[in-house]
Amino acid sequence: MTAQNGNILEAVQVRKEFGGLIAVNDIDFVIPRGSIVSLIGPNGAGKTTFFNTITGVYKPTAGAVFFEDKEIAGLPPHQVTGLGMARTFQNIRLFHNMTALENVLVAMHGHIKGGIVRSIFRTPGLKREEAEAQERGRELLEFSGLRRKDDEYAKNLSYGDQRRLEVARALATEPKLLLLDEPTAGMNPDETATFTAFVAKLREDQNMTVLLIEHDMKVVMGISDRVTVLDYGEKIAEGAPLEVQHDARVIEAYLGTGATG
Amino acid sequence: MSTRAARIRTPGLGSETTRKWALPAVVIALIVAYPLLIENVSFLDSLFVGRLGIDMDTAFQMATYTMLALGLNIVVGYAGLLDLGYVAFFALGAYTLGWFGSSLFAGQNIHFLDVGNKAIPGIHLSFWVVVPLAGLICAIAGIIIGWPTLRLRGDYLAIVTLGFGEIIPDVFRNGDSIGGHNLTNGVRGVTQLDRPGFGESLNSATGGFLPDRYSSLPDELKPWYYTILIMCLITIFVNLRLRDSKMGRAWIAVREDEIAASAMGVPLMRTKLWAYAIGGVFGGLAGSIYGSFINGIFPTSFSFQISVIVLVMVIVGGMGNVWGVIVGASLISWLNFTGLGKLGSLLNDAIPGTTHDVEITKYKYGLFGFLLIMMMVFRPEGLIPSARRKAEFKEGDEAYLYDVSTE
C-alpha cells in the first residue's frame, strides 16, 4: 500500500530517567517512511515522555535517535522541526491570543526569509513573500477544516477547532513526519471519525508519515500500519494492529493479571 | 484565484486604512505644528506652556522618554521579556556621545564632519555619525548582555536585567582609571558635549533653515524638538513594521508559549536576542541626543528609577500597543517633569489661603506608585491596549460568551 523506502525515524536504545525514575527504558523503535505508526499504552506508560525525547524537548539519558539517518538526540526543538518533524501537543498549546492564521504563520517561521531590514522597509520581495505565506496559511486552514476561521483568536475556537488548528499549525512547518499526541482526546465520535479520515488523507495525498499517540482503540486499529505498546517505560509489544490486540502481555497491561487466564 | 488575490491586497488600501490612520495623522500634525502654535496663538501658549508647563524643554524630554518607552515596548510588550535594567542602554548611548563627541580624550584631536571649533581637543565625530554609532554599540551590548541572561525566564530574567541596569552606571562611575586610562571621567561626568548641526554651508544653502549648530538657549530649542520628533517617528515606524513582520509574530509566539514556539521552528535565543538588541538600539539613540541636549553626562543621571518609570509608561499606556505606549510615555514624562508641579500649584491656588500649600512634587514616586496600583486594579490592560492584550485580560468570560453565542 505504501512506498516503503527505509525508515524515516530510528530510535536506538533510547532511555530517559528523571532522577531515579526510568520513564523510558531502552526502547528500540522505527517508523517506516509513509506509514502510520501508533504508540499506545496505559496512562503513565511513558508515551509522551518518549515523544518529547525524540522531538528534542528532552535530551535522552542514553541512546540515539536518527531522523533520515541524521542523529537528532539533544538538538534543540526548533532544529528538529527544521529537519522535517512536527508535533502537536496533548494538552493544546496554541498561541491563544493570536488568530488562527497567525498561529499557522508562526509555524512557517523556518520557511519565510523575513529579515529585520527587509521587514522595516517592506521591500517588494518581502511583501510578495508575506502575501504568499498568508495565502498558503489560508489554504492550510481550509484544508484542515478551519474554513473562515482565519481571523478568530485561537482561544475563541471551539475545542474541536483548536485540535484541528494544532494539526494545521504542525503541517505549516512542512513536516515529513507528523507526530500527533492524543489528537482526538475530547472529541465526540463524529469529530473523531472526521479526524481519522483526515489523517488517512494526509498519508494518501502527501505521503505523510505519522506517529500517533492515541487512547481511542477504534482510531488506532482503524488507521495504523503498526502499533507499539508501552508499559512502565518498556516496549511490551509491537506489530500489526490485530496481532497486538491479541497479545497476552498487552491485555494484561490494560486489564491486569488474570484477565487472560 | 482573483478573489483570493483581492483579499490579500485589501488591507493595504481603502477606507479601512484611512480610518485607522486618520486620528494618528491629525495628532502627529498637531505635534509637528506645536512650537508654531504656541508661538503664534497666545491662548494656546498660556494654556499649554503657562498652565500645563509644556515648553520646548519639557516637550523634548517627553519625546525622549517616548522613544525609550517605544524601545522597551519591543522587549516587554512584544517579546514579553521583563527588562528592569533598560536604563543601561540609555546610559551607554549617552556615553557614546561622551566618547565620540566631547573633549573627554583630551590627548586626541580628531575631527570628522563636526560643526564645532576644530581647535578643541578630543574626538569629535559628526553628531549624525555618533547617533547611529550609539545605536550600533547598544545593539552589540544588547547581544553581549542578552547572550547569558536571556536563557532565564520571568522573574529570574527581571532580577538579572535589574543587576545589569545597576552595574553599567557603576562601570561608568568607576571608569576613570581602567588600566590607567580615563574612559568616563568618573563621578565628575562628561560635560561640554558636541551639539548637532548641519554646518555653515548647508545653513546658507538652505537660507538658514537647517541650523549651523544647534543652540542651547531656551528660546531656540525648536531644532532640538524637531530632531527628536523625527527620531520618534522613525521609532514608531520601526515598531509598527516589526510588529507585523515574521519577527514580530515570533516575538508574540515566544511570549505566549515558549515551548510551542520552539516546537514550531522558532529559535528561542535568536528571537529574544533580536528583541533585546533592537530595544537597546532605541535606548542608545535616545541616550545620545539626550546627553547632547542636557550637555552633561553623569553616572548618577542613569538611576534605577529611569528603568522603572519607562516600564511604568509602557504598562500604563498599554503594553504592545504603539499608540498606547506613546500616550503613556507622554503623560507620565509630562507629570514627571512639570505636570505634577503645575497641577500642585493649580490645586494650591484653587483653595484660598497659603497655610495648606503642599509641594506635591515631593510625593512624586508615591503618586506614581498609587497611579500604577489604580491602573492595575481598574485597567490592567493599559490606557490604549492592543486588541491582543485586551483579549488576554478578558480571558475566560468573553471566550465563554462567544462559545455560547455560536453553538
Measured distance CA(B306)–CA(B316) in Å, rounded: 15
pLDDT of residue B312: 93
The overall average pLDDT reported for chain B is 88
Count of residues making up chain A:
261
In a domain, B393, yes or no: no
- A76 and B253 in contact by Cβ < 8 A? no
* Range A184-206 average pLDDT: 89
The overall average pLDDT reported for chain A is 90
* Cβ proximity of A155 and B396 under 8 Å: no
| Candidate from A110, A116, A119 with C-beta closest to B265 | A110
Check whether B5 has a pLDDT greater than 50.
Answer: no
In a domain, B376, yes or no: no
Number of structural domains found in chain B? 1
The pLDDT tens digits for B135-165 are 999 999 999 999 999 998 888 999 999 999 9
**Residue B259 banded pLDDT, cuts 50, 70, 90:** very high
* Range B176-192 average pLDDT: 90
Measured distance CA(A94)–CA(B201) in Å, rounded: 59
pLDDT of residue A253: 83
Query: Distance, in angstroms, between A96 CA and closest chain B CA?
Result: 7
* Range B39-57 average pLDDT: 91
- Residue B209 is part of which domain span? 55-304
The residue of chain B with its CA nearest to that of A94 is B260
pLDDT of residue B359: 84
All residues of chain B having their beta carbon less than 8 Å from the beta carbon of residue A55 are 263
pLDDT of residue B400: 42
All residues of chain A having their beta carbon less than 8 Å from the beta carbon of residue B242 are 116, 119-120
Check whether B8 has a pLDDT greater than 90.
Answer: no
> Which 8-state DSSP code applies to residue A141?
H
Return the number of CB contacts < 8 Å for A and B.
111
* Cβ proximity of B299 and B173 under 8 Å: yes
* Cβ proximity of A46 and A3 under 8 Å: no
**Residue B394 banded pLDDT, cuts 50, 70, 90:** low
**Residue A259 banded pLDDT, cuts 50, 70, 90:** low
All residues of chain A having their beta carbon less than 8 Å from the beta carbon of residue B388 are 97-98
* Cβ proximity of B289 and B46 under 8 Å: no
The pLDDT tens digits for A100-156 are 999 999 999 999 998 999 999 999 999 999 999 999 999 999 999 998 999 999 999
Q: Can you read off the three cell numbers belonging to residue B299? A: 553616572
- B266 and A78 in contact by Cβ < 8 A? yes
- A93 and B257 in contact by Cβ < 8 A? yes
**Residue A32 banded pLDDT, cuts 50, 70, 90:** very high
| Candidate from B237, B245, B392 with C-beta closest to A97 | B392
**Residue B89 banded pLDDT, cuts 50, 70, 90:** very high
CATH number for the domain whose boundaries are A17-84+175-261? 3.40.50.300
Alpha helical stretches, state H, B244-363: 246-256, 258-263, 268-294, 304-317, 322-334, 340-350
Helices B56-72 and B304-317: crossing angle in degrees, nearest 10, is 80
pLDDT of residue A56: 80
Q: Can you read off the three cell numbers belonging to residue B128? A: 549624525
The pLDDT tens digits for B359-381 are 888 888 898 889 889 988 998 88
Q: Is the ipTM of this complex over 0.85?
A: yes
Residue B42, strand partner residues: none
Q: CA distances (Å), B78 to each of B94, B247, B374, in order? A: 25, 10, 24
**Residue B350 banded pLDDT, cuts 50, 70, 90:** confident
Residue A238, strand partner residues: A228
Check whether B402 has a pLDDT greater than 50.
Answer: no
**Residue A252 banded pLDDT, cuts 50, 70, 90:** confident
In a domain, B405, yes or no: no
The pLDDT tens digits for B10-33 are 444 456 778 778 888 899 899 999
In a domain, B355, yes or no: no
Measured distance CA(B47)–CA(B286) in Å, rounded: 28
Q: CA distances (Å), B149 to each of B154, B253, B391, in order? A: 11, 20, 30
Q: Can you read off the three cell numbers belonging to residue A249? A: 502481555
Secondary structure of residue A176 in the 3-state scheme: coil
Domain-wise residue ranges, chain A = 17-84+175-261
pLDDT of residue A5: 55
Check whether B263 has a pLDDT greater than 50.
Answer: yes
The residue of chain A with its CA nearest to that of B238 is A120
